[in-house]
């Protein structure tokens, strides 16, 4: 892999609205930093690559936990619905047996 020896700037396909005007995101890799800015502006946001990496890992883990929690909740809801159905069926059988 080629080492990063000089700054590399690219215009990304991502469009962000800035004051109602859509602008493309400009990404620069410079040393250990990721520099983000909107095309046609001078305001830059600088992110350390290490922090960006760990932020991405945290976001992925959080997303996986959310999905896992939703699946767990759906499974619990199905089990509760089954218990309600079975208990109502049992009540109906007991009522019919008494008659």
Please write the tens of the pLDDT for every residue from 16-50. 999 899 999 999 999 999 999 999 999 999 999 99
Tokens of 52: 């960006």
Which residues, 6+ apart, have CB-to-CB distance to 50 below 8 Å?
32
Q: Report the predicted TM-score, pTM, of the whole model to 2 decimal places.
A: 0.65
Please write the tens of the pLDDT for every residue from 51-99. 999 999 999 999 999 999 888 888 888 888 888 877 776 666 666 666 6
Please, are residues 13 and 26 in contact by the beta-carbon 8 Å criterion? Answer: no
Which residues, 6+ apart, have CB-to-CB distance to 22 below 8 Å?
15, 16
Please, are residues 73 and 85 in contact by the beta-carbon 8 Å criterion? Answer: no
Please, are residues 34 and 27 in contact by the beta-carbon 8 Å criterion? Answer: yes
pLDDT value for 67: 92
pLDDT value for 91: 65
């Amino acid at each position: 892999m080629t080492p990063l020896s000089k700054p590399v700037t690219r215009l990304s396909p991502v469009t962000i609205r800035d004051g109602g005007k859509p602008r493309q995101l400009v990404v620069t890799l410079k040393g250990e930093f990721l520099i983000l800015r909107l095309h046609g502006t001078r305001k830059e946001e600088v992110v350390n690559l290490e922090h960006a990496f760990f932020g991405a890992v945290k976001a992925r883990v959080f997303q996986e936990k959310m999905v896992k929690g939703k699946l767990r909740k759906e499974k619990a809801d199905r089990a509760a619905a089954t218990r309600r159905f079975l208990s109502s069926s049992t009540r109906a059988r007991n009522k019919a047996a008494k008659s």
